[in-house]
């Protein structure tokens, strides 16, 4: 087969204190602790709004 890419050695903590997993499991829908979901939330600037806006953005970010 091939070598797997090494994951980061530390957990990433967002502005809200969320900890992400080291590696994405690529399930459908993506889990809330997935690093891909966190990066999508940061791109959408979801942490700058209120809790209701964060909930909407989280639902969109978890889509496959």
Rounded Cα–Cα distance for residues 56 and 61 (Å):
9
| pLDDT tens-place string over residues 16-42 | 577 888 888 888 999 988 999 999 998
Evaluate if residue 12 carries a pLDDT over 90.
Answer: no
Provide the pLDDT for residue 43. 93
pLDDT level of residue 59 (50, 70, 90 thresholds)? very high
Rounded Cα–Cα distance for residues 54 and 4 (Å):
33
The whole model's pTM is what? Answer: 0.69
Provide the pLDDT for residue 11. 41
Q: What angle do CA 8, 12, 15 make, to 5 degrees?
A: 160
Query: Which residue ranges make up each domain of the chain?
Result: 20-62
CA dihedral angle for residue 48, residue 49, residue 54, residue 60, rounded to 10 degrees? -80
Query: Residue 39: helix, strand or coil by DSSP?
Result: helix
């Amino acid at each position: 087969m091939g070598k797997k890419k090494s994951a980061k050695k530390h957990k990433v903590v967002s502005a809200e204190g969320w900890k992400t997993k080291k590696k994405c499991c690529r399930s459908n829908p993506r889990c809330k602790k997935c690093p891909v979901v966190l990066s999508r939330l940061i791109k959408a600037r979801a942490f700058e709004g209120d809790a209701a806006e964060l909930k909407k953005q989280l639902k969109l970010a978890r889509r496959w």
